[in-house]
Amino acid sequence: MEGGSFKSKLEPNEEPMELEITREAENEIQEKISQSDNKPLSDVLGELLGLERNYRLAGLTAETTKVCLEIIRLCRKRGDWKLILEHVQLLSKRRAQVKQAIATVVRECMTYLNDPNLDESTRLEALRVLREVTEGKIFLELERARLTKTLAEIEESKGNVAVAADLMEELQVETFGSMDKREKIVFILEQIRLSLDKGDYIRASVVSRKITPRSFEGDDFEDLRLSYNRLMVRLHVYNKDFLEACKCYIARYQTLLAQQDASWKQELRNAVICILLSSFNNEQNDLLFRISEYKQLGDLGEFSKLLEFYTKKELIQWSEMITRFGRELKGISLLEFLDEKEAMNLLHVRTIEHNLRVITVYYTCISVEKLAKLLDLNPEETEKYLSDQVSSQVFWAKIDRPSGIVRFTKPQSSEAVLNDWSHRITNLLNKVEYTCHLIHRERMVHKSILSSSES
């Protein structure tokens, strides 16, 4: 299922129900059917339609449903699909037709669509007619959804992805009370996948909000959880939201690890790359350190040491890192959704930003020339990256252009300086008082020891 479409057999919503009809009605219907071997089919169908009319007007639900079902089965026995579809439309449009009869006829026809010998043109026409019959009927919303999904699969197999996506967009399965949770999730995942394949990322984002990670709680949904997170990675990487993509990869890694599937290693590698490509904030920094504590990182070999560069407050030499990890970085499957050159350029930017944050820890002011040298950039590029970080409110900095000095300490107002001085003096006096107390206590203890020794 993962990475492809979600195929399923076209089945009716319910098992064929046993119709409790009178023995007289049963004999009457069977008598008409038995004449089909001796009489023209049109005559037999006409007589059965007459019975259907009598039962319907008499308000006999079970008898009406039974005769409608036998009409369709008789047409099916002759293998005449044109006749089947004509009678499906005819029976569904009759005045005051009972819902149970329409539903039974539609469900019966849905079982015929699984016939492998059915040609494509006939299958498409049958799907069109059945979708037309089920349109606007709440009691057949599940059957209409399954018919639409089958039609979308056929259109996609022809290469008409946009048509398939448009068909699936019509379905609001999240409101279907008759559809079980698993099938509902499968439908929504298929809507997301087709929207992504179509290139409609806005629509995919809207549809993805219909389900949450909590929807996949339980072992029965592990396969769907993997598929959902893979689709979300495609969406988040397209939107350059690497932090959310990282969370999806972590979810896949945890699921595969629990299943003892060896492919968890690739998912963990992708999670590491995504967290490094994410822009810095408190959430990103917290997740970075949590990933660095995963015990399974040690199974990734040299790649496991990549995170150490970004968790330490030390400058990173880009050329050294590429020499050491270049081959590992090029082997990640994340590049299915992201251009390799674009990924490496973005990682270089994140490395520069990391180096800037490290410099602010150790320097209160620094010359632009020295800053550029530490970052291995020219002064113009240095100012650009510095300005970006200040604009993002990662840290405070100000450039004194005449002197060529960058200051990382924010100047305080006179009131703030006075308050800070007052606070420091208070702390100093408290410490002096505490020290005097300790000295006095030591004197008393010492005096007590001397007194006891003299006595």
pLDDT at 4: 47
pLDDT at 339: 78
Encode pLDDT of 393-407 as tens digits: 888 899 888 888 999
Q: What is the mean pLDDT of residues 433-445?
A: 93
Distance CA(113)–CA(363), nearest Å, equals 74
Q: How confident is residue 302, by pLDDT bands cut at 50, 70 and 90?
A: confident
Q: Is 404 left (phi over 0), alpha (psi -120 to 50) or beta?
A: left
Pair of tokens at residue 340: 């390799």
Supply the pTM of this predicted model.
0.81
Distance CA(225)–CA(329), nearest Å, equals 26
Distance CA(130)–CA(10), nearest Å, equals 13
Q: Which residue has the higher pLDDT, 453 or 42?
A: 42
E strands, 232-328, where? none
Q: CB count, 10 Å around CB of 369?
A: 11
Q: What is the mean pLDDT of residues 374-386?
A: 92
DSSP symbols for 261-294: -TTHHHHHHHHHHHHHHSPP-HHHHHHHHHHHT-
What sign has the CA pseudo-torsion 340, 345, 350, 355? positive
> Residue 46, SS3?
helix
pLDDT at 455: 61
Contact 204, 236 (CB under 8 A): no
pLDDT at 409: 83
Nearby residues of 87 by Cβ (< 8 Å), 6 or more positions away: 45, 71, 72, 75
Q: How confident is residue 217, by pLDDT bands cut at 50, 70 and 90?
A: confident
pLDDT at 414: 85
Distance CA(70)–CA(30), nearest Å, equals 9
pLDDT at 5: 46
Encode pLDDT of 21-53 as tens digits: 777 888 888 888 887 777 888 888 998 999 999
- pLDDT tops 60 at residue 415: yes
Least confident span in 191-195, 405-409, 431-435: 405-409
- pLDDT tops 70 at residue 225: yes
Encode pLDDT of 68-119 as tens digits: 999 999 999 888 899 999 999 999 999 888 999 999 999 999 999 988 888 9
Distance CA(192)–CA(205), nearest Å, equals 8
pLDDT at 78: 86
Average pLDDT of the chain, as a whole number: 88
- pLDDT tops 90 at residue 440: yes
Measured CA distances, 205 to 1, 208, 277, 346 (Å)? 21, 5, 21, 24
Distance CA(102)–CA(100), nearest Å, equals 6
Pair of tokens at residue 244: 């959310």
